[in-house]
Structure 1
Amino acid sequence: MSTTRATENDRSAVRTLLRLWPYVRPVRARLSGAAVVAVLASCTGLVIPLVLKWMVDGPVADRDPAGVWLGALYLLLLGLAEALLFGLRRWLVARPLSHVEAEMRADLYRHLQRLPVAFHDRWASGQLLSRGTTDLMLLRMFLAFPLTFLLVNTVTILVGVVIMLVQDWSLGLVILVPAIPVMVTCVIFEKRYSLVARRAQDQVGDLTTVVEEGVLGIRIIKGFGRHRSQARAFRELSRTLRGTELRKAGLLATIWGVIVTLPEVAIGAALVLGAVQVADGELSAGTLVAFLSTALALRWPVDSIGFLLAMSQEAATATERYFEVMDEEPESRASTAAARAEDSGLRFHHVRFRYPDAPEDSPPLLDGIDLHIRPGESMALVGATGSGKTTLTALVPRLHEATSGRITLDGQDITAMSREELRSRVAVAFEEPTLFSAAVSENVLMGAGGGAGTVELERALAVAQADFVHSLPQGTDTQVGEQGHSLSGGQRQRLALARAVVGKPPFLVLDDPLSALDVHTEAAVEAALRDVLADTTALIVAHRPSTVLLADRVALLSGGRITAVGTHHELLRTNAEYAHLMAGTDEEDGR
């Protein structure tokens, strides 16, 4: 699903692009210097027609070969100076702009890490990837070229027009006739192109999402023979993007047609009128040559207006898309809520939760959760599919924020802690484990924070019965593939469990961490886990009776509330819903 925002018709591209100033400010000196150098280079090119006038009216008219050669030397030196100045401009902007792009990309990545899970639930990953790659590339290109040359070309056109008016004001007025229709065309083009450019960049994000999902889900696609349907979906999105790009090309062709044709007609008219004046003796041949040379020198600055405006609009939409993410509120910081020392262990105080994107009138997923897990106690959380068990466990490390109520660890409200402190005290292992493209040891020791070594690694692997890593090609230094797909589901789950226990956390949250294990491995892991659970306070989402038996007590989650708490055997005798769940009729977990 795409994540796009409507673009307002009255959005100011300039106001949007000004948001880049905090990133550009540290390199403003070099960018300003590059702009000055570019203006000098462009104005140097405008001196060439004046040299031509001198040559035609002087050495050429006087049949002076030495003067012609001298003029040719002047022209050569001016051309070299122009080329060197433009080369210096490129050198000045290359390093600072790569720094700006790197800083923006780093800020985006840091911000994404701080955004709540609810944000990532809403946004397609391809949209985020396109903002961190394609959009930032467009911004770097804008800062390197259009930003400078919109100024340079404006100055060049103004200086060139002044030179032409000084040469002959009547011919100058002929050249200025197309100015009004060209400006009107630019205004219309800017409004229309901005909408199409935004649509195209959003569609690139949609296409990136499809590609990413196709790569990550290649086993499912192949397993179910869905490669043709995926290819059709990709072709459909590609066709849509192609249509949008053709629309952009059509708009660009239209403005170029106007911008190129009208000035060319004006130059032709000036040529005819000037030739008549030269024939009548009212204008020197050198002046006409200088005038026409100046007009031709202005062709590129004028012709490039459409191209520069198009790039500027694309940069404005890229800026808008970038700050759509940066403007999202990160996870809230610690509050000043007071701690209550008497509430030791892990406690839920009348906690309610509704997903942020849920309708206002919808009932909360969790409603009035009151639960106390005493210090050193393990509690199993049991409930039907979709009852909210995973969501409840996600509230403890604040992957989701409770809508109301409080959660305390040893009497301290978790919102009063920094997230670093909270997540150093609470370790988690999810049913769907995520591994990174890194060594086995790096994936496991990620849960230790810092200071852990081989001893802690081996202990955690032993608890998770993950000794299989020693038979991998490079042992614990073996690189696992993206998402850990080079390992089986049970192997990934055991490494995720090892990651959770490696740091000996005081609080442990396990979301059905043994679901992918075979019976014998599960029994071995449970035996090792009992020693770990004896030294921690744990909340364990469980489906199987064998996992439930790891816990000291059991809480039944039903209808968004905790409806029963007791030991496994007590609930089997006294609660029909619990007995029904333990009979195996509903073994899958949900949100």
Structure 2
Amino acid sequence: MMKLFRLLKPYRLFVAAVLVLVFFQTLSELYLPTLMSDIVDTGVVKGDTPYIWKVGLFMLFIALLGMVCSVAASYFSAKAASGFGKTLRGKVFNHVSYFSLEEFDKVGTASLITRTTNDINQMQQVLIMILHMMVMAPMMCIGGVIMAVSKDATLSLVLVVIVPVLAAAIFLIARKGIPLFKAIQKKIDRLNLVMREGLTGIRVIRSFNRIDHEKKRFAEANLDLTDTSIKVNKVMALMMPIMMLVMNLSSVAIIWYGGLRIEGEHMQVGDLMAFLQYAMQIMFSLLMVSMMFVMIPRASASAVRINEVLDMTPVIKDNENAAKASSNKKGYLEFQNVTFSYPGAEQPAVRNISFSAEPGEVTAIIGGTGSGKSTLISLIPRFYDVESGRVLVDGFDVRDLSQEDLRGKIGYVPQKAVLFTGTINENIRYGKEDATDEEVQHAATIAQAADFIAEMEDGYQSIIAQGGNNVSGGQKQRLSIARALVRGAEIYIFDDSFSALDFKTDAKLRAALKSETKESTVILVAQRVSTVLDADRIIVMNESEVAGIGTHRELMETCDVYREIVLSQLSEEEIA
């Protein structure tokens, strides 16, 4: 946790202000019982009314001063904690943005969201308490002991018995609660995961009538979290009754023993009243510490989880001597004996892949489900690093290029079309931030999206809902294609990006792409044979390996796997 608190450095002036203000607030609270003692012993006992008024007004001034210090300290501590939270959230988000897909797979999206929101909020709340209570509590406790002893050293022996009993009770309760607080954070992760899956997959859930099943999953995760929360709150609920019991018993002991001291003329009534207040202040300072024990374990668990993310080094990072790709081989792509395995997998996802593609060519990749098509193209923008072999872009190994430079050469359309909340214009411009309106409209026309955009009420300013839920699957794919086309890339990668299009739109789109991408290298992953028929090169994948490379006619004669795929989709007349 202390490691994260280094981020408070820019807010050190606020922290210093809080410490000074809390110091003066504590002094004012410690001074008030002494003033009250003077009023009773000097003013009330002797009947000196002017003295009572004078000291009473001074007490009021000290109390107001303490209140001002308290309000100002709360304001500055909130400022520091909010700034810390903002800085930490930014640090986590920026760090996560450099993660490879391997790190996302390892931690999980739901867990990353929880860590960036809930866990950092826990840290923020505890920081406010630390700045206010953790500073005040020891000062109040030490100051209270000093002032109590100054009033009557013998009566202070009562505190010698009370304080260790209270401290032991707090320690035992905190020790029981700490593991439960750690468990709560993991159960919140689980709840977020179930809820996220339930919301994002609502169409599938309803289509299969699995609403009751999802309700049951959520209820189980929710009940698990609730049970743990109840258990920890039961433990922590013991804190206040024990505190109040000890405080009340100590009050009785102080009044009884103090009465004997007054009777023996060893102390005055005002001193006993002041002593009682100092004893209460000592107790309340321990109560503050107990409240910290409630919050710190949970925040500590959150800090561990945040540090896990910040300490996670991305597997894929730029080479220190990253090269700038030369311009004389723009768009040239080559795979040299490439093998790749997912972490923990028994078999490679792709094995011994070799092929090359040049500008002006369309290279299609086809094969059965799980044959390694999508994995193969994920190695080009370096979403994963190869296990062995090399992927070359413009003659350079992708590992020797900076990720920004490499991905700036690529127009990528993922298998699952992803749109962002905002206008159609903004979504297409995501591919090229400074694209003109003409470039945006041209990209939409090539992607066969211009017609349906024109039919929308606000045209290119029409709003896309979260996840693109207000457009069809085919429209999402066409907007994703337009987003890739607008950047004028050297290499275009279409990962099964025409699957939601009808055959007519598919054919028109591929015809428009030919003239648009004649100076670019096109890599096209497809399930449909009709989509790859006219490709300059077809790579047939089967069980993670290349089963054949060639044109449609060549593969029909030489590749059994390709022939089976074609025969399963086209009639004899269509093949001829």
Q: Which TM-score band applies after superposition, normalised by the shorter structure?
A: over 0.9
Counterpart-to-counterpart distance in 2, 1:343 and 1:73: 85
- 1:506 pairs with one of 478, 490, 494: 490
SS in 2 for 1:170: coil
SS in 2 for 1:349: strand
Alignment of 1:14-413 (within 5 A): 17-330=1-314, 331-334=316-319, 336=321, 345-356=332-343, 358-359=344-345, 362-413=346-397
Counterpart-to-counterpart distance in 2, 1:225 and 1:38: 59
**1:297–1:370 CA distance, 2 compared to 1 (3 A):** same
Counterpart-to-counterpart distance in 1, 2:534 and 2:511: 9
Q: Partner letter of residue 466 of structure 1? A: A
| Contact residue 428 and residue 483 of structure 2 kept, 8 A | yes
Deviation at 1:343, TM superposition (A): 11
Deviation at 1:217, TM superposition (A): 2.0
Deviation at 1:515, TM superposition (A): 0.5
Tell me the alpha carbon deviations over residues 296-351 of structure 1, each in whole angstroms, 9 at most, x when there is no partner: 23332222222111111221111111121122223311354788989981001111
Tell me the alpha carbon deviations over residues 169-199 of structure 1, each in whole angstroms, 9 at most, x when there is no partner: 1211211213223333343444432221111
Aligned length: 566
| Contact residue 555 and residue 564 of structure 1 kept, 8 A | yes
| Contact residue 252 and residue 307 of structure 1 kept, 8 A | no
Counterpart-to-counterpart distance in 1, 2:410 and 2:172: 57
Deviation at 1:492, TM superposition (A): 0.4
| Contact residue 43 and residue 49 of structure 2 kept, 8 A | yes
Q: Partner letter of residue 119 of structure 1? A: E
Counterpart-to-counterpart distance in 2, 1:344 and 1:147: 57
Q: CA RMSD for the aligned pairs?
A: 2.0
Counterpart-to-counterpart distance in 2, 1:567 and 1:487: 36
Q: Partner letter of residue 86 of structure 2? A: A
Deviation at 1:263, TM superposition (A): 3.8
Deviation at 1:107, TM superposition (A): 1.6
Who is 1:484 aligned against?
A: 468
Tell me the alpha carbon deviations over residues 104-160 of structure 1, each in whole angstroms, 9 at most, x when there is no partner: 111222222111112223333222222121111111111112343112111110110
Worse-matched range after superposition: 335-344 or 319-328? 335-344
1:453 corresponds to 2:436: yes
Tell me the alpha carbon deviations over residues 176-229 of structure 1, each in whole angstroms, 9 at most, x when there is no partner: 213223333343444432221111122122222222222222222222222222
**1:337–1:99 CA distance, 2 compared to 1 (3 A):** closer
Q: Partner letter of residue 464 of structure 1? A: A
| Contact residue 529 and residue 569 of structure 2 kept, 8 A | no
**1:532–1:121 CA distance, 2 compared to 1 (3 A):** farther
Q: Partner letter of residue 264 of structure 2? A: D
| Contact residue 431 and residue 514 of structure 1 kept, 8 A | no
| Contact residue 146 and residue 311 of structure 1 kept, 8 A | no
Counterpart-to-counterpart distance in 2, 1:337 and 1:286: 78
Worse-matched range after superposition: 106-115 or 89-98? 89-98
| Contact residue 363 and residue 523 of structure 2 kept, 8 A | yes
Counterpart-to-counterpart distance in 2, 1:532 and 1:190: 67
Who is 1:9 aligned against?
A: none
| Contact residue 331 and residue 520 of structure 2 kept, 8 A | no
Counterpart-to-counterpart distance in 1, 2:120 and 2:441: 43
Q: Partner letter of residue 220 of structure 2? A: E
Tell me the alpha carbon deviations over residues 388-409 of structure 1, each in whole angstroms, 9 at most, x when there is no partner: 1001111101112212221111
Counterpart-to-counterpart distance in 2, 1:342 and 1:526: 25
Q: % of aligned pairs identical?
A: 27
Q: Partner letter of residue 163 of structure 2? A: A
Counterpart-to-counterpart distance in 2, 1:409 and 1:510: 17
Counterpart-to-counterpart distance in 2, 1:424 and 1:486: 30
1:425 corresponds to 2:412: no
Q: Partner letter of residue 198 of structure 2? A: G
Counterpart-to-counterpart distance in 1, 2:134 and 2:176: 19
| Contact residue 260 and residue 303 of structure 1 kept, 8 A | no
SS in 2 for 1:22: helix
- 1:524 pairs with one of 484, 508, 524: 508
**Structure 2, unpaired ranges of 5+:** 571-576
| Contact residue 338 and residue 387 of structure 2 kept, 8 A | yes
**1:169–1:585 CA distance, 2 compared to 1 (3 A):** farther
**1:347–1:303 CA distance, 2 compared to 1 (3 A):** same
**1:337–1:305 CA distance, 2 compared to 1 (3 A):** closer
Counterpart-to-counterpart distance in 1, 2:424 and 2:308: 36
| Contact residue 111 and residue 189 of structure 2 kept, 8 A | yes
| Contact residue 118 and residue 400 of structure 1 kept, 8 A | yes
SS in 2 for 1:61: helix
Counterpart-to-counterpart distance in 1, 2:362 and 2:214: 45
Counterpart-to-counterpart distance in 2, 1:148 and 1:428: 51
Counterpart-to-counterpart distance in 2, 1:519 and 1:269: 91
Counterpart-to-counterpart distance in 1, 2:123 and 2:302: 7
Q: Partner letter of residue 336 of structure 2? A: H
Counterpart-to-counterpart distance in 2, 1:393 and 1:207: 34
Q: Partner letter of residue 332 of structure 1? A: K
Deviation at 1:473, TM superposition (A): 1.8
Worse-matched range after superposition: 297-306 or 490-499? 297-306
SS in 2 for 1:133: helix
Q: Partner letter of residue 172 of structure 1? A: S
| Contact residue 555 and residue 562 of structure 2 kept, 8 A | yes
**1:438–1:337 CA distance, 2 compared to 1 (3 A):** closer
Deviation at 1:45, TM superposition (A): 0.7
Worse-matched range after superposition: 342-351 or 210-219? 342-351
SS in 2 for 1:376: coil
Who is 1:546 aligned against?
A: 530
TM-score (norm 1): 0.92
SS in 1 for 2:359: coil
Tell me the alpha carbon deviations over residues 19-56 of structure 1, each in whole angstroms, 9 at most, x when there is no partner: 12331111122112202211210221111110111111
**Structure 1, unpaired ranges of 5+:** 1-16, 587-591
- 2:419 pairs with one of 435, 449, 454: 435
Counterpart-to-counterpart distance in 2, 1:95 and 1:344: 51
